[in-house]
Amino acid sequence: MPYLSRAGVVLTLAALPFVLSLFQVVQLTVFMIFSLLALSLDLIWGFGGILSFGQAAFFGVGGYAYGVVGINTGLSMLALAGAAIAAAVLAALLGYFTFYGRVSDMYFAVITLTVTLILHQVMGTTADPRYAIGAARLGGYNGMTNVPSLALELPGRPALVLEPVPLFYVVAAFLLCILALCHGLVRSPFGRVLAAIREDEGRTEMLGYDVRWRKLVTFVLSGAIAGLAGGLFAGWGNFINPQVFSLSQSALVVIWVMVGGRGTLHGAIVGALVVQHLTSYLGAASVSYTSVALGLILVAIVLLFPRGLVPAVLGALMRVLARPRPAVSESP
């Protein structure tokens, strides 16, 4: 992206809290958190070429980790780090098991989905007070509701709890930084070899590359990003419950990336923002209408725009704009 539009995006983001209502700022903050989650899927799927239904699992684990660390230590930043690390560890275990076991891509998708479902089941049974880590009760289906807010802790000063507008900026900063990080990764030699793995894994192995650790690293990174998003989510809403592990949440992450177009990074962000805005618009009606709409949208996209909705729309726009127009002098 050229520098001009990058600056434009930053400026727009900076200005938004001044033109939007408080409710809209809070809502946009959580949408940006979801965008981060979508970004994590695009990294492993759009660039790694590996479909993971498990990003919701990392998101949830991150959220719960934030809750546990936050409630036990009262330190928000430590909790956030804990969120990313916990998710990364889960991703490392899962990735090692599957990539080094040379499991096929389809079975990998199934396994990640199964792990998410397992977490959904298990976390729902933790209602009893004895299910607690330190001072943090897991809370069963209701989850944890006393999760501390996100706060800046600087040495020597009291913790600064982030109000909605500062929180908006902090989340936006996270989003932009991680986006830049991912862009850098994709353009690096590592990223170019990853693209080769995506296109033809066997051929890349024949060149001598060990594809297994490369896939593992990418997966762990995507897990860490999803976990970080989970931690931000828990701190944003002061709650986390097993809903994050549900089948529909897993589906939603995939839908975001499919709408925005995979393999572009910023497409995932746009997809998440578009779908979530649409959902909250429709959600005023009822959950069922939303389900139907989302379901049909997903079917339509798969059938009509396999590369993603936004790229298809943009592509059509480009073709319209590129059509040659008669020169003025030709008109009589």
Partner 1 sequence: MRSTEAILQTRRLVKVFGGLRAVDGVDFTLRRGELRCLIGPNGAGKSTFFRLLAGMLRPTSGSVRFKDMDLTRLHPHQIAKVGIGIKSQLPRVYDQMTVAENVWLSANFRHGGEAASAVVDRVLQETRLSDRRDTRAAHLAHGDRQWVEIGMVLAADPELILLDEPTAGMTRAEARRTADLVREINRRASLIVVEHDMDFVRELGAAVTVLHRGAVLAEGSIDEIRGNEAVRDVYLGKRHARR
Partner 2 sequence: MDLLAVTAFGIVYGVATLVLLALGLAVIFGMMGVINLAQAEFLMLGAYTVLLASSHGASVWVGIALAPIVVGLVGIVIERTIIQFLYGRMLDTMLATWGLSLALVGIVTLLFGPTTEGIATPLGYMAIGRYSIAHYQLFVVAVALGSLALTWGLFNRTRFGLVARATMQNAGMVAGLGVNPSRIYMGTFAFGSALAGLGGAVMAPLTGVVPTFGLAFIAKIFITVIVGGPVILLGTTTAGGVLGLVESAVSYASTPIYGQVAMLVFAIVLLRLLPQGLSGFWRRGV
* Binding-site ranges for partner 2 (CB under 8 A): 51, 97-98, 101, 103-107, 109-111, 113-115, 117-118, 121-122, 124-125, 247-248, 251, 254-255, 258, 286-299, 302-303, 306
Give yes or no for residue 163 binding partner 1 (CB under 8 A): no
205 contact, one of partner 2, partner 1, none, CB 5-8 Å limit per kind: partner 1
Residue in 118, 61, 121 with CA at minimum distance from that of residue 89: 61
Toward partner 2, which CB reaches closer, 76 or 290? 290
What is residue 47's DSSP assignment?
Answer: I
Toward partner 2, which CB reaches closer, 77 or 298? 298
Toward partner 2, which CB reaches closer, 84 or 109? 109
Q: How far is CA 68 from CA 42, 50, 238, 315, in A?
A: 28, 31, 12, 46
Give yes or no for residue 102 binding partner 1 (CB under 8 A): no
Give yes or no for residue 188 binding partner 1 (CB under 8 A): no
DSSP symbols for 99-130: HTTT--HHHHHHHHHHHHHHHHHHHHTTTSTT
Amino acid 283 reads G
110 contact, one of partner 2, partner 1, none, CB 5-8 Å limit per kind: partner 2
Closest approach, Cβ 95 to partner 2, in A, equals 13
Give yes or no for residue 6 binding partner 1 (CB under 8 A): no
Residues 193-222 that bind partner 1 (CB under 8 A): 193, 195-196, 199-200, 203-210
DSSP symbols for 267-312: HHHHHHHHHHHHHHHHHTT-HHHHHHHHHHHHHHHHHH-TT-HHHH
Residue in 5, 1, 15, 62 with CA at minimum distance from that of residue 172: 15
Toward partner 1, which CB reaches closer, 26 or 212? 212
Main-chain phi, psi angles of 285, to 5 degrees: -70, -75
Q: Measured between alpha carbons, how far is 82 from 76 in angstroms, rounded to an integer?
A: 10
56 contact, one of partner 2, partner 1, none, CB 5-8 Å limit per kind: none
Confirm if 222 and 62 have CB atoms less than 8 A apart: no
Toward partner 1, which CB reaches closer, 206 or 321? 206
Toward partner 2, which CB reaches closer, 145 or 291? 291
Closest approach, Cβ 193 to partner 1, in A, equals 7
Confirm if 137 and 249 have CB atoms less than 8 A apart: no
Closest approach, Cβ 279 to partner 2, in A, equals 12
Toward partner 1, which CB reaches closer, 208 or 306? 208
Confirm if 151 and 74 have CB atoms less than 8 A apart: no
Closest approach, Cβ 136 to partner 2, in A, equals 21
Residues that bind partner 1 (CB under 8 A): 189, 192-193, 195-196, 199-200, 203-210
